[in-house]
Amino acid sequence: MSDTFTCFLVDDDIDDQEIFQTVLEGIAPDSNCVVAANGEAALQMLNEGAVSPDIIFLDLNMPLMNGHQFLFHISQLKMYQEIPIIVLTTSADLNTKASVMNSGAKDFVTKPDKFSEWERVLKPVIAKFL
């Protein structure tokens, strides 16, 4: 895995943003993490060139534009089709997983309940796609 990469986290939960960034810093200290609070803001940032991610972690339940809607919109844009999108959500529903995988997500990860579990969950996912 390359030590330097840009991760784009699309999640409206401030606590999850902070946990993710803390864990990412421990896994890949030289990485850059950019955050958007919903799909609409994320698409705007991508289209304006404010972020050029190597990987996107996407929550599903967000205001304005949820993760399902974001996946639909980004799948229509050829320039972003090579960026792996990892759904990182509280859901563990198999139908939801199938839906997002069919919509272009490369992986589906259920957010851990405990802080101590985040690294165990994220490290292999990041290593697999970078």
Check whether 128 has a pLDDT greater than 80.
yes
What does the mean pLDDT of the chain come to?
A: 90
**Does the pLDDT value for residue 1 go beyond 60?**
no
Task: Provide CB contacts within 8 A for 10, sequence distance 6+.
Answer: 35, 36, 37, 38, 39, 41, 42, 56, 57, 58, 59, 62, 67, 70
Q: Minimal CA–CA distance to 33: which of 57, 67, 62, 69?
A: 57
The CATH classification number of 6-129 equals 3.40.50.2300
* Residue 16 confidence (pLDDT) above 80: yes
Has residue 55 got a pLDDT over 60? yes
pLDDT at 3: 54
